[in-house]
Amino acid sequence: MQGLIVENISNLYKIKVQNKTYEANARGKFKKEEITPVVGDKVEIQILDEENKKAVIEKIEPRTTYIKRPKMSNITQLILVVSSKNPKPDLLLLDKQLAFAEYLGIKPIIVLNKTDLDKKKEFEKIKEIYQNIGYTVIETIAKEQENNLSGIQELKKQLKNNVNAFSGNSGVGKSTLINAIFKDTITQEGEISQRNKKGKNTTTSTKLYEIDENTYIADTPGFSTFDISEIEYKELDKYFKEFKPLVVNCEFVGCTHIKEENCGIKNALQQGKIDSSRYDRFCKIYEELKEKDKYKY
């Protein structure tokens, strides 16, 4: 029987099979193969006790994506939440997370939250920069009661048929957004309405919540941002989406796009084809990754 791991507490797994949930351990053979099941894994299980919903994991299906910390597999979409005000937008972090999403092969979506606090609409500029690159940007007011202006409906549409994980600094409104999404959902199962009641800070393990069939949100405790240090600094240009196709124009193989002459990226920058703040943040992230690389081994 095929199921989905929706929760993991030490070596116990909760596995969803249609509308039933089984508790299972993994077969010993996984340890020998040095693979541990993680939340998000599609698994083959054998039922041991139908009445008490006990099972054992027999096989882990190949993963399409894998995140090391927190351990999650088969995430298809990363929701990168940025606050317009309070706290002010952290675009350096956003660019790091975008690069990481590209590196992992997971589609990123940018959510600009708390637009109600940004009276001068400074977020419009941010929206433009990232839309020009080709990213989807959604404006939200998570605190707003359900209405057409909150952006929650649009976000929900984006989440559909994906396994979604939220990322962003503490205080940007991730919990408020997730709760608004669930509030807005007609619940069929206790599982979802439970999340509403419990609110934040009560999850002790990574968990997948089902919004509807084929749509999930990963909830991870104490997790706000991903550690991107596994990206090789020399490869960072591959993960800056608008830089990647321009690298062929660089005169030097292995061009860092920082000091070299006849650089495709710098030329595009001069022609206004690349946003200069994006370029500045590229240089900053490059230097940070390079510095970290010194201490890697």
117 binds, among ligand GDP, Zn ion, none (CB under 5 to 8 A by kind): ligand GDP
Q: Name which of 114 and 257 has its Cβ closer to ligand GDP.
A: 114
* Min CB(262)–Zn ion separation in Å: 8
d(CA 197, CA 182): 11
Long-range contacts of 181-188 (CB under 8 A, 24+ apart): 181/152, 181/155, 181/156, 181/211, 181/217, 182/209, 182/211, 183/146, 184/146, 184/152, 184/153, 184/156, 185/211, 185/212
Q: Does 172 bind ligand GDP (CB under 6 A)?
A: yes
* Min CB(226)–ligand GDP separation in Å: 14
Among 77, 176, 206, 220, binds ligand GDP (CB under 6 A): 176
Q: Specify whether the CB–CB gap between 92 and 60 falls below 8 A.
A: no
Q: Does 192 bind Zn ion (CB under 5 A)?
A: no
265 binds, among Zn ion, ligand GDP, none (CB under 5 to 8 A by kind): Zn ion
**Class of residue 259 by CB neighbours under 10 A (exposed 0-12, middle 13-18, buried 19+):** exposed
Which position has the token pair 């927190």?
Answer: 70
Q: Is 223 helix (H, G, I), strand (E, B) or coil?
A: coil
255 binds, among Zn ion, ligand GDP, none (CB under 5 to 8 A by kind): Zn ion
d(CA 175, CA 259): 42
Q: Which residues lie closer than 8 Å to 18 by C-beta, 6 or more apart? A: none
Q: What residue type is assigned to position 265 of the chain?
A: I
74 binds, among ligand GDP, Zn ion, none (CB under 5 to 8 A by kind): none
250 binds, among ligand GDP, Zn ion, none (CB under 5 to 8 A by kind): Zn ion
Residue 153 is classified by DSSP as H
Among 173, 207, 226, 257, binds ligand GDP (CB under 6 A): 173
Q: Does 141 bind ligand GDP (CB under 6 A)?
A: yes
Question: For residue 17, what are its two tokens?
Answer: 């099979």
Which residues make beta-bridge pairs with 17? 20
* Min CB(83)–ligand GDP separation in Å: 8
32-61 residues near ligand GDP, rule: CB under 6 A: none
Candidate segments 52-60, 64-72, 103-111, 112-120, binder of ligand GDP by CB under 6 A? 112-120
**Class of residue 151 by CB neighbours under 10 A (exposed 0-12, middle 13-18, buried 19+):** buried
Binding mask 64-103 for ligand GDP (x = CB under 6 A): ----------------------------------------
d(CA 208, CA 152): 19
Q: Name which of 5 and 110 has its Cβ closer to ligand GDP.
A: 110
217-276 residues near Zn ion, rule: CB under 5 A: 250, 255, 257, 263, 265
Interface residues with Zn ion (CB under 5 A) are 250, 255, 257, 263, 265
Residues that bind ligand GDP (CB under 6 A): 113-114, 116-117, 141-143, 168, 170-176
